[in-house]
Amino acid sequence: MASVVPLRGLVIFLCLLHLCVQGIQDVNTVCLAKMTQYFYDKVQPKTKEGADAQYALSIYLPPAYCVDSKTEIKNKFDNDDAAQVKALLNKGAKCVLCTEPKNVIASRPVLIDKKNTEHSEHVLLYPVGKSPMDKLLAKTREKDSCVVFYSYNSPCVKTCLQSADNILEGLRNWINKRKGKMNAFVFQEIWQKDIDEDLETEFKKIDAIVPLYRCMRNSQQEMKCRKCVDNNVVVSFCLPNRK
């Protein structure tokens, strides 16, 4: 019996080590680049003037789709599903598990009244406990999912991050339900009105809750992604290009 105790201790140690490794595993930026390019090509809604419109989308996928660069997101979110989501967004409607796999939620900003708009990220994350995000998370299985939250623009500082109606509690609700799992918050463009804001401080607020990434097209129109915070420093890739 004496040898059982050390063996049991070893088993517990290995289990804890496995959970730690799971908890710190980063999403592959090549996978994120492929996802973001697909969202841009297949889902991106337009304004009446034909410009790219702000929207947010969240999807859950098998973990391989977040770590194996050979995977193709269209196998879990195909062209027909993407077209369905895009059509809803272009009509001003939202998608709450609207596709057959029931693995996607998406929304554009929602007009509350003539002066106020609920931002797209907030639409998906609230009300906490009954949000579209909560419905999406209820569909995920603990051990075999990766959840990616994508916003075309970075969350605006004034409303999304600093106001009493900010999105941070919604992000915490998401991560509290998925501790130790693969999660990523991704944005593409810097919100134009935030160019002169202290984005380093604001982006750290998000990254302290969920890993923050930026994906954007380079001069060759290739989508590239980077993790935004490294050793508590926000990398220049995720900040405005001030000339």
Q: What is the pLDDT of residues 87-125, one digit of tens each?
A: 999 999 999 999 999 999 999 999 888 778 899 999 999
- Write the DSSP symbol of residue 49: T
Cβ neighbors of 174 (< 8 A, separation 6 or more) are 125, 133, 137, 147, 149, 183, 210
Residue 14 has pLDDT above 90, yes or no: no
The structural domains of the chain, ordered by start, are 24-238 (3.40.140)
Exposure of 118 by Cβ count < 10 A (0-12 exposed, 13-18 middle, 19+ buried)? middle
Tokens of 10: 């070893």
pLDDT tens digits for range 124-182: 999 999 999 999 999 886 567 999 999 999 999 998 999 888 999 999 999 999 988 99
Contact present, 88 and 25 (Cβ < 8 Å): no
Residue 7 has pLDDT above 70, yes or no: no
CA distance 58 to 67: 17
